[in-house]
Structure 1
Amino acid sequence: MPSSGRIHTLDMTRGIAVLGILLLNIFAMGVSYYDYVPFSTPSWGDKLGQLCYYFLLRDRFITLFAMLFGVGLYLQWHSFAGQTHLLKRRLYWLLLFGLLHRIFVWPGDILFNYAICGLILLRYLSQPPQQQLVMALRFIAMGILLCIASSLLLYDLEPVTRESSDFLDSYAAWTGAYSDRLQMQLDLAIADAVLFPLTYMWLLLGLMLLGCYGFRQQWFTQGLSRYRHWLLPASLLMSAIAYPIGQQDNAHLQALAEALLSLAAIPMSIWLIHCIAHSQAQGRFAQRLQAVGKIPLSLYLLQSLLGTWLLRDLVPQLNLTLHWFGYIGIALLGCLLQLWLAPLWLKFFRQGPLEWLWRRLAFGANYQPHN
């Protein structure tokens, strides 16, 4: 535990996670019932994009961000000298932010789910590191098994393409009147609140607890001392197994592929943590990533506002014409905007606007945590 100051490698890792999340979310910011919807005749670019999705993107940055959330909660718990009532107040406000975000802006919100898991995680923060690791692995296994079990309730659907009537109807709804979008987002929020404890919650909770364990083992500051050479090959192997399974027109097999991808994301995320900690990057680009990592809440919500405005209101026709790498191009432009905006903001302010509001609502103007 550092005695003072910020952990720059932690900020940098968080910055990469925040930017990487946009590379995944961009596909559903227009027509939010789906991720990327292929054309009836996929181009070579779309086929290559699908490979990138399986091997480099799917669940990678969400997993990394979940582990970082666990680290952040552990650091706050230590800073508040174990005063969990203060952390609960902070998490209740995050839960409200997430609820408002998913109902009024974008239904793919993660803040609500993170707040729920954070409230459960509080009871495990004081455990010894090895006990945290055991519980993390149990939660991850439970989450994967529940996701696979829930897939047995699925039934096969006709493949959705960009030309299909299902997609065109959804496109018309998501780019239509805001009142109609609001109703759909409310419906999705209710469905997720019901299903979340039965499926993804346990995996997310395990990842957060794994992040706590990793921080206490100095993964984020010194890297891993063992098994680091096996992390990336293990991730790529699981992705290679998941890819052909996920290409089948069978809902059960696709759900199995998603479970494998969730597992594949864990060693790749740990490998990335190790690389960042071991490199100790200090250049200008690293400083910009650190700036992004210092105001993640503000930038995460900015991504949703700009992405939904672009793909639902400003140029909704892009949902009909963009190929896979077209969406990625938009996301990369959004990343460049954040890399420029974050250090500029921090030249004049100590916190992001929503970080400041969150702290003020949770603790008031004058509260100072214990060191």
Structure 2
Amino acid sequence: MPNSHGIKRVQSLDVLRGIAIIGTLLSNIWVFTNDYDVGSSTGGISQLGKLGEVLQEYVPIVSTMLANGKFLGLLSILFGVGMAIQFESALRHGHRWPWRYEWRSLLLMADGFIHFALVVSIDILMGYALVAIIVAPLLRLRTKWLVMATALAGAMHLFMEFRRMTETPYAEEPLPDDYYRDDSAPTGEWSNVSAPTYFEEVVSRIDDFWVLRDEAFIVAPPLSAFLFLCGVLLWRAGLFKGDERARTLSRRLAIGGLGLGMPLAVWEFLPLPGADVASDFSRYTIAPIVAFGYLGLTLILLRRRGGSGFLARRFADVGRTALSCYMLQNVIALVIFSQWGHLGRLGSLGTFAAWAGISALLMLAAHLWLKRFRQGPFELVWKAAVDAPFRRADRTGERQRREKDTTASVP
């Protein structure tokens, strides 16, 4: 199906975006439920006996190995693919690059700030927008120079990672375990401080803006730039075509990414030498390697099965409404698990069940919405805002093209 830019929609991209959105929620759900500590809450788990205790302990470990940073890395690669598609569309329509795309990025920055202030401090949209503003002009480079820019971004990221590892962390006096919440109480009441209201949380996020945006603006940009540019290069290399070259590239990504990345992801949880080093590199270096493996493996499975199965279609629905689903999943988690409206601590199994429930709800909502609309609700508003400053110029250009075609057809 052609999109608004006249480009045939790539079904596998929609499926991949949907997987990345759902997978990112699996990483973030632990932030909302605040159930990092293994065994911190066992409500209802004791009824399962020894099995419940084992699951309670290992569910967050498996979740971290499979999801932490991996699906965010996949989402970043796909963001770069989308940037490459926008670039080709701009050239085809005779638009100057990257002016319109920079406008899109500024709108994404504003959208991200609203999402950060009103919903959650771990918003990724502002960071993506900042990096996109910097990276977009590079797409005008020839491929060989773009490869060099990609390598430079990767080297900068690794330099910052090694520098971060060698820095001496600032030692803070730890707060008492029961400072925030009385876990011994049956309902999980807050003990030494009262739960802040929603508006107090909003004010707190805005007041601590620069502290909370350290990851998005300082730590992540070199890695995001690297992954964006990798997405551009993979699109230019024809990864999403159906030819033998695309299949070969998919196999290489799957074997290389999973073959190298997954052992390193598991290593940090094993009592082996170097596990602490693997832990330090887990989110920002090992996770992106696994993300490339996920990308290749998913494409292999989609090509073998045609991408028309029930689950693939549901992931595609989420992918077609990616911005809406990303923001909606955080809104749902905020309402359910915030300090002013939470269900109580759920424990590891409860947190995983909450992720599954929210994911199913997103798939259902996206499916029902797309029966009546071609884009998600936020996407519709987004497109109107992106196109608004250029409508007059587009109408003028279209009229001039029609007049030129009419003149050329006159004998």
Q: Specify the alignment match of 1:359 in structure 2.
A: 383
Q: Specify the alignment match of 2:160 in structure 1.
A: 146
**Residue 249 of structure 1, CA deviation:** 12
Structure 2, unmatched stretches of 5+, are 43-52, 183-188, 399-411
TM-score w.r.t. structure 1 length?
A: 0.85
- Three-state SS of the structure 2 residue aligned to 1:219 is coil
Q: Find the partner of 2:104 among 90, 99, 120.
A: 90
Q: Which moved more, 1:113-122 or 1:264-273?
A: 264-273
Q: Find the partner of 2:28 among 25, 41, 54.
A: 25
**Residue 298 of structure 1, CA deviation:** 0.8
In 1, Cα distance between the equivalents of 2:71 and 2:320?
17
**Residue 254 of structure 1, CA deviation:** 4.7
- Three-state SS of the structure 1 residue aligned to 2:294 is helix
1:116 aligns with 2:130: yes
TM-score w.r.t. structure 2 length?
A: 0.77
- Three-state SS of the structure 1 residue aligned to 2:381 is helix
In 1, Cα distance between the equivalents of 2:239 and 2:59?
31
- Three-state SS of the structure 2 residue aligned to 1:29 is helix
CA pair 365-131 structure 1, distance change in 2 beyond 3 A: closer
What is the identity percentage for the equivalent residue pairs of Structure 1 and Structure 2?
Answer: 22
Q: Specify the alignment match of 1:165 in structure 2.
A: 178
Alignment of 1:182-201 (within 5 A): 182-194=202-214, 196-201=216-221
CA pair 331-158 structure 1, distance change in 2 beyond 3 A: farther
CA pair 192-365 structure 1, distance change in 2 beyond 3 A: same
8 Å contact kept, 1:95–1:115: yes
Alpha-carbon RMSD across the aligned residues, in angstroms, is: 3.4
8 Å contact kept, 1:295–1:355: yes
- Three-state SS of the structure 2 residue aligned to 1:138 is helix
**2:181 aligned partner, one-letter code:** L
**Residue 318 of structure 1, CA deviation:** 2.4
Structure with the bigger RCO (C-alpha within 8 Å, sep 6+) is: 1
Q: Specify the alignment match of 2:300 in structure 1.
A: 275
1:243-271 deviations in Å (ceiling 9; x for gaps): 34899998x88534444533443433333
CA pair 313-336 structure 1, distance change in 2 beyond 3 A: same
**2:241 aligned partner, one-letter code:** T
Structure 1, unmatched stretches of 5+, are none
1:119-149 deviations in Å (ceiling 9; x for gaps): 1111221233343333223313322331342
1:7-39 deviations in Å (ceiling 9; x for gaps): 1111111111111111111111245xxx72333
**Residue 291 of structure 1, CA deviation:** 1.5
8 Å contact kept, 2:205–2:212: no
Alignment of 1:11-50 (within 5 A): 11-31=14-34, 36-39=36-39, 43-50=53-60
CA pair 259-93 structure 1, distance change in 2 beyond 3 A: closer
In 2, Cα distance between the equivalents of 1:175 and 1:347?
41
1:57 aligns with 2:67: yes
8 Å contact kept, 1:90–1:359: no
Structure number with greater Rg is: 2
8 Å contact kept, 1:242–1:260: no
Q: Find the partner of 1:333 among 341, 354, 357.
A: 357
